[in-house]
Amino acid sequence: MRVHIKNELIEIIKMLSEANDFIQDNIETNITDQIKELLVNCQQSAIEVGEKIEYFEGEGTVAVSMLEEYCELVYRLSLTLDDVKKARKLIKLLRNLLQRIINSITYDIPVSRKEVVFFPYKASMWDSMESVWEAACKDPDCDVYVVPLPYYDKKTDGSLNKMHYEGNEFPDYVPVTSWEKYAVSERCPDIAYIHNPYDNANRVTSIHPDFYAKELKKYVGLLVYIPYFITQGDVPTHFCVLPGTLFSDKVIVTTEKEKNTYINELKKFETENNCSGKFGNLEEKFLILGSPKVDKVLSTTRDNVTVPKEWHDLIIKPDGSRKKVILYNTTIQPLLNHKEEYLDKIQEVLNFFYEKRDEYTLLWRPHPLMETTLSSMLPGLYERYKKILVEYNNKAFGIYDETADIHRAIALSDAYYGDKGSVAVLYKETGKPCMIQNVKVK
């Protein structure tokens, strides 16, 4: 049985002991009906504990036998409340029996291997988990699962639209378990990692509702949120108060400044909503452990990535020498802020590198949700954006990278040009030139 399940069951038995003490203290008062109702609740709780033990351990455990004995004693006590002397004898028997049940759950039921599960949704964001997954796999006492989640585009009214699943896009060395075959409510993993903080709070996409952080927390021992993004030491405040940060037991951050931003924003939320302490001890909730994304980018080089032939042909000149490769990264927020002007900027950049195609190869990587966002939030610009893409691909002077592997693009390129954001922060870790795009500069 999982450690956290054992602990939950023991806490329930302790609550039964507290109820037993309450009955002992009030057996001579005129609250017989209240005591009878309490005994019914105690009996139901004991039955549920027994069912859970049998679910995980099968039939025939000592603890379940004692729980059955407990239920019989509770029934007898409910019939003798008018006889204080007999009732006190039964209460004493129940107290001793409950302690024996705690001991049996603690010592007779073996602790199973630790189960750790990772719940990514987009393959391109797997780098935010990979080094943690690698460490878990090295632990001989852990059973580790990677369960990619399906996600949906949202209609303009917020309802779920087309479903996407990227389980087949993860690296070959990552064994994937189908989300349809991993029942969280039955497996009750010890630790679960997530990198989607939104639940239903995103206007563009949503993971499957069964895997919202609020739902996972019902069955998981320790829920850990690792942000899919990385910042330059601080975090945008709109990322701080989301379901993933609220319901997770631990949140991984990179700096003290980032931790303080999360804490300050959550404290404001608690004050405004009169829910202080509901989401855990904030000082202990945030762990400064760095980002797995940096681990991944530093371990990926040109020597250990596979380059498609069509990319190779665009990078290598006829004389065998290599062109300079510029990673062009476009993101969502500037698009939402500048709209038509942002598309003008993209077109300008593509035109510039078309003129410089003999010396430079542009490697364009738009945000993976760029088209979905346009379709959902800026449908009037969607057709123009698609037209820009078609023209870029038809001219065939640069690479269009919509794969999940950002690290190959970082390793292959000689410099970065594009928007601020997680990719730019990662790129700076390589020590190569990093230039930030300004939409206003023409």
DSSP summary character for residue 129: T
Domain membership of residue 441 (yes or no) is no
Domain membership of residue 261 (yes or no) is yes
* Together in a domain, 351 and 326: yes
* Together in a domain, 308 and 259: no
Domain membership of residue 61 (yes or no) is yes
The CATH number linked to 346 is 3.40.50
Total domains in the fold of the chain: 3
Among 297, 315, 349, residue at a domain's last position: 297
Rounded CA separation 41/62 (Å): 22
* Together in a domain, 136 and 283: yes
> Which residue(s) pair with 115 in the sheet?
143
Among 108, 130, 155, residue at a domain's last position: 108
Domain membership of residue 119 (yes or no) is yes
Check the CA dihedral 254-255-260-265 and report its sign.
Answer: negative
* Together in a domain, 361 and 426: yes
* Together in a domain, 180 and 212: yes
* Together in a domain, 100 and 207: no
The CATH number linked to 28 is 1.20.120.660
Domain membership of residue 340 (yes or no) is yes
* Together in a domain, 283 and 137: yes
* Together in a domain, 209 and 308: no
* Structural domain span for residue 316: 300-436
Rounded CA separation 400/398 (Å): 7
Long-range pairs for 209-212 at CB < 8 Å and ≥24 separation?
210/184, 211/119, 211/149, 211/179, 211/184, 212/243
* Together in a domain, 165 and 243: yes
Domain membership of residue 442 (yes or no) is no
Rounded CA separation 405/169 (Å): 10
Which pLDDT tens digits describe the chain residue by residue (442 residues)? 988 999 999 999 999 999 999 999 999 888 989 999 999 999 999 999 999 999 999 999 999 999 999 999 999 999 999 999 999 999 999 999 999 999 999 999 998 889 999 999 999 899 999 999 999 999 999 999 999 999 999 988 889 999 999 999 999 999 999 999 999 998 999 999 999 999 999 988 999 999 999 999 999 999 999 999 888 767 888 889 999 999 999 999 988 999 999 999 999 999 999 999 999 999 999 999 988 988 888 889 999 899 999 999 999 999 999 999 999 999 999 999 999 999 999 999 999 999 999 999 999 999 988 998 898 889 889 999 999 999 999 999 999 999 888 999 999 999 999 999 889 999 999 999 999 999 988 7
Q: If we measure between CA atoms, which residue out of 422, 405, 321, 304 comes closest to residue 363?
A: 405
- Give the three-state DSSP class for 358: coil
* Together in a domain, 293 and 305: no
Q: In what order do the strands lie in the sheet with 160-164?
A: 160-164, 151-154, 205-207
Among 265, 297, 329, residue at a domain's last position: 297
Structure tokens at 186: 């039955």
Q: What is the value of pTM for the model shown?
A: 0.73
* Together in a domain, 261 and 127: yes
* Together in a domain, 23 and 56: yes
